[in-house]
Chain A
Amino acid sequence: MVAIDSDVRALSTFLGVSCGKLAFLGDSKIPVLHVSNGIQLRGLSTISKYLVKLANRQDLLGQSFEEKATVDQWLEYKVTQVDRCGTDKDGHTVLKELNTYLSDRVYFAGHHLTLADLLIYQGLCCIVVDLSFFEKQKYMHVSRWFNQVQHNFDLRPDLQPIIFQKNQLYGTTN
């Protein structure tokens, strides 16, 4: 819960808005945000979208209908898959899927940064930080995308950047 809280805070700082206090329902990990009198929003994805709209950064939600749907899809993936790995194998499955998807893409939706990139980046941090150089090369497209997001978009200035080797160190990574 602490982690979700700091992620939401980091996002609102990045967007340049203030997010107020996050609450959690019971002992679940579902965040709830009070936005105004009696109105509250529930769910990490929804709250993140709210912050984006508050910051007037609708570009981060996608520009065409197709892009918006793609962003929505990957936000759903983040919350239901990336954040819910029960074993290391699950983590590697996620990495593999994302790696294939990103093999011919710079960003998750369209040709620019969207909320999908930001949230998936946040979700992957704890997985990527533990990868060996061998694994980073194995998932080289994820590595390339991750490195780009971490360096170009100051989402977590408090964290040390994760090191990626740009040259291939290993012959085969099968």
Chain B
Amino acid sequence: MKLYSDPGNIHTLKIAIAAEFTGSRLDLHEVKNDVQVIPYLNKSKLPALEISEGQFLFSANSACRYILSKAGQDIDSLFVDQWLEWEAAELQPVLWRYLISVFGQGKTEPKLEEAFRSLLGQLNQYLHGRQHMVQDRVSAADIVLWSSMFPALCDVPSPKDWLSEFQNVSYWFNRLSQHPAFQTGFTMVTQGKGKSAFKASILAQPPPPPTDLDTRKLKQAAPATSEPGTSDTKSSHKETQSAVNEETVTPEELSRVQEAWLHGKERVPQPLERKTPILPQPSARNILITSALPYVNNVPHLGNIIGCVLSADVFARFCRLRNYNILYVCGTDEYGTATETKAVQEGVTPQEICDKYNRLHTQVYDWFNIGFDFFGRTTTPQQTEIAQDIFWKLYHGGFVLKDRLEQLLCEKCDRFLADRFVEGTCPFCKYEDARGDQCDSCGKLINAIELKDPKCKMCHNTPVVKSSEHLFLDLPKLEPELSKYLDNAFSQGLWTSNSKLITKSWIRDGLKPRCITRDLKWGTPVPLEGYTDKVFYVWFDAPIGYISITANYTPEWEQWWKNPSQVELFNFMAKDNVPFHSVIFPCTQLGARDNYTIINHLSATEYLNYEDGKFSKSRGVGVFGDNAKDSGIPADIWRFYLLFIRPESQDSTFSWEDFMLKNNGELLNNLGNFINRALTFLANNFAGEVQPMQLTEEDNRLLVAVTRCLKAYVDNLEKIRLREGIGNILTISRLGNQYIQANTPWVLVKGNQDERARAGTVISLSANISRYFIVGPVPVL
């Protein structure tokens, strides 16, 4: 066992004596008294006994007892525990302070003496008629107490002769002093220097917390929220600090801020006039923003909303405030199997389903104040026109392959069955309820064709295998162009790391030709002879929806979509949609050779969980569609929270408890509180008139801090780091709160003229900072 200690450490004596007593080997390593041996403790605590590789004991009492136990010489009595606890919890806090004052100052306070005397008295009483602390032999209690008290009883250059005052202690103590183990241990620790060896070590270590401290009392006296804003200042203090104090305010910043304060207003640009239809301007930064088209059939939930439309909306609002020329489009994705199936189930036409659900989506997004420039749908003539046009260009460009696919046809329903509409017996594990894409039992991926005894899920008829011809997009042929494009796009644009990873792994795994047609009725018809009974597969067709929706917005859509040199395309989505936006659609566009505007920036979110589970409409778990509106909580509050928990680098969770906490803690106590205080005070004390301001150095520093936050905010939103952006907003109001708090205008305003004037400055400055919140949080709220 290795023992690390500084020379002459009293606690080490406990361990050394125990080792001598039991004949155990100790490997003593001497270190300086400020060395931290134990990795997890805040400050240096010596001695430290290494009982095994990397495992330490920092309690000398425990170490002492451990050595005795291992050698079979411990006394298993609760009285040993009692006296060790007495030594650590009652004796040491008093004794150490006593020793420090005696060794350090050469005298001692009466209070300390009295406290020590009282403790000695207890020990003395207990030792009446005893030679050992517990039972009739040496135990850890003897060793620990003898060691602790040695300096006080023998070494102290003081007039106090404790031993003559306490006879029983004296008898016990002197007897043990004769014990060979005690003597050897003593010599080892003092290295022959004798009694004066302990002084340095005692003075080097701080005393343990005094006995009158009580954590519970501390917590009762200082409740978490005693003052609006304090609970937040406590926890986010660090964040605010870094904005203000950690980095020193430079003179340049100070002068810039002062200049801006006085003259900045003259430089505020005019907001860009927006005339519909919004079209790219040659001198402006033209930004085209899309959010992944929600599938019409699915009722949107909070995860969909933050993943796509809300994130894009925040960015869109920000861009407008930056005077960029932007267009934000989205719409419902309406073709595909699911809609067709649902229509059959409900006994209506697919078009009717789409109309109904498109309305639902529109209403939900409208309630969330999503400001699309245009929200459309994919079931329009323009979609057919543009999709077919693109197809022809790909076809004539040699990027379309023909091949046969074997599929299951249900003759009774007269439709080819998509994988999930086939049930049968798993060919691997014989599970009888396997679905056509994956077996629920053994989890293996299967092709529907491979199922034994397949049945159509709807009519339970046995389908037949029919082979039909289909068209494939030759992705491998387009791969070199795509890679080249992406290399450039990745380095020039903003791509979330998950999107780059997913894209790269798709390409690394090797692109294969992808089927772009399906044997369905509800979809964009394929114009090629021999395939006219088929429609385009939804994932070929849907991204083209972005284009056709724009075409529904303006006949000049080509100014956006065939203008890569003047337009930047931003796509917002959740991560499962990434490959379609970064691989398949760009390949489609590249192959069409029509100067299409291809993706420049991609922001993909991770998943939003609901209270540690997943959203599930079928099980009624989560917040869907109108639920948010029905809650009575305003849309802006939802927007704020969803952005606060936006799953940017990893999955996050919607939690009602946290929703409430954030609303109360951040929006209310922080943001709302600051604005309210500043403006109400102004109204009540200065008749609502902003006062003339004499800015002090402190005020200017505050402005610098606020400016830094502002800059960070703009930078964060430019880089689509929405969550951090929210943090910046809240930091500004936090700084404001602290500023008001520190300057106590409510006190100043009752003072003399100078003080009143100062109050006026403080409040007016705060009111001015409040004005930031008219514009700043607009992207969010």
Residues in A lying within 8 Å of B, measured CB to CB: 3, 28-30, 41-46, 49-50, 53, 65-66, 68-70, 72-73, 75-77, 79-88, 90-91, 93, 96-98, 100-101, 123, 126-127, 129-135, 163, 165-169, 171, 174
Contact = CB atoms under 8 A, between A and B. Distances in A.
Contacts of B262: none
A167 B651 contact: yes
- The dominant DSSP class at the B interface is helix
A73 B88 contact: no
Nearest to B209: A84
Given A76-B59, A85-B209, A168-B650, A91 B88 contact: no
A66 B214 contact: no
B684 interface: no
Contact of B62 (A3, A29, A53, A76): A76
Nearest to B55: A66
B658 A169 contact: yes
Nearest to A69: B66
A72 to B, nearest CB: 4
B224 interface: yes
B215 A77 contact: no
Given A30-B90, A84-B209, A167-B652, A49 B78 contact: yes
Contacts of B82: 41-43, 46
B218 A91 contact: yes
A49 to B, nearest CB: 6
A135 B235 contact: yes
19 contacts: A41-B79, A42-B85, A43-B82, A65-B66, A65-B69, A69-B62, A69-B69, A70-B62, A76-B62, A80-B92, A83-B214, A84-B209, A85-B215, A130-B219, A131-B235, A135-B235, A166-B653, A167-B651, A169-B645
B158 interface: no
Interface in B658-675: 658, 661, 665
Interface stretch (B37-45, B283-291, B533-541, B695-703): B37-45
Interface in B174-211: 208-211
Output the residue of A123, A132, A168 with the most chain B CB within 10 A: A132
Given A86-B218, A134-B236, A101 B40 contact: yes
Contacts of B90: 30
Given A41-B82, A165-B655, A85 B62 contact: no
Nearest to B222: A88
Contacts of B661: 133
Contacts of A127: 215, 219
Contacts of B51: 66, 69
Contacts of A133: 658, 661
Interface in B19-55: 39-42, 51-52, 55
By Cβ-Cβ distance, the 4 closest A-B pairs, closest first, are A69-B66, A100-B40, A84-B209, A132-B235
B224 A130 contact: yes
B219 A126 contact: yes
Contacts of B723: 171
A41 B88 CA distance: 16
Given A68-B69, A83-B214, A169-B658, A174 B61 contact: no
Contacts of A75: 85
Contacts, number: 155
A174 B234 CA distance: 13
Contacts of A79: 85, 88-89
Contact of B85 (A3, A45, A68, A96): A45
B70 interface: yes
Output the residue of B58, B65, B88 with the most chain A CB within 10 A: B88
Given A66-B52, A85-B218, A72 B653 contact: no
Contacts of A3: 216
B215 A72 contact: no
B478 to A, nearest CB: 38
B238 interface: yes
B746 interface: no
B215 A29 contact: no
B17 interface: no
Contacts of A171: 649, 723-724
Given A42-B86, A72-B59, A87 B218 contact: yes
Nearest to A2: B216
Given A50-B78, A65-B70, 12 more contacts: A29-B214, A43-B85, A66-B55, A69-B65, A76-B85, A80-B93, A80-B208, A91-B215, A96-B42, A97-B41, A130-B219, A171-B723
A43 to B, nearest CB: 4
Contact of A66 (B66, B222, B236): B66
Contacts of B89: 30, 43, 45, 76, 79-80
Contact of A84 (B70, B215, B650, B651): B215
B57 A73 contact: yes
B657 interface: yes
Interface in B54-110: 55, 57-59, 61-63, 65-66, 69-70, 78-79, 81-82, 84-86, 88-90, 92-93
A101 B55 CA distance: 11
Contacts of A87: 218
B97 to A, nearest CB: 14
A83 B210 CA distance: 11
A50 B51 CA distance: 26
Given A97-B41, A101-B40, A85 B213 contact: yes
A172 to B, nearest CB: 9
A46 B81 contact: yes
Nearest to B225: A130
B266 interface: no
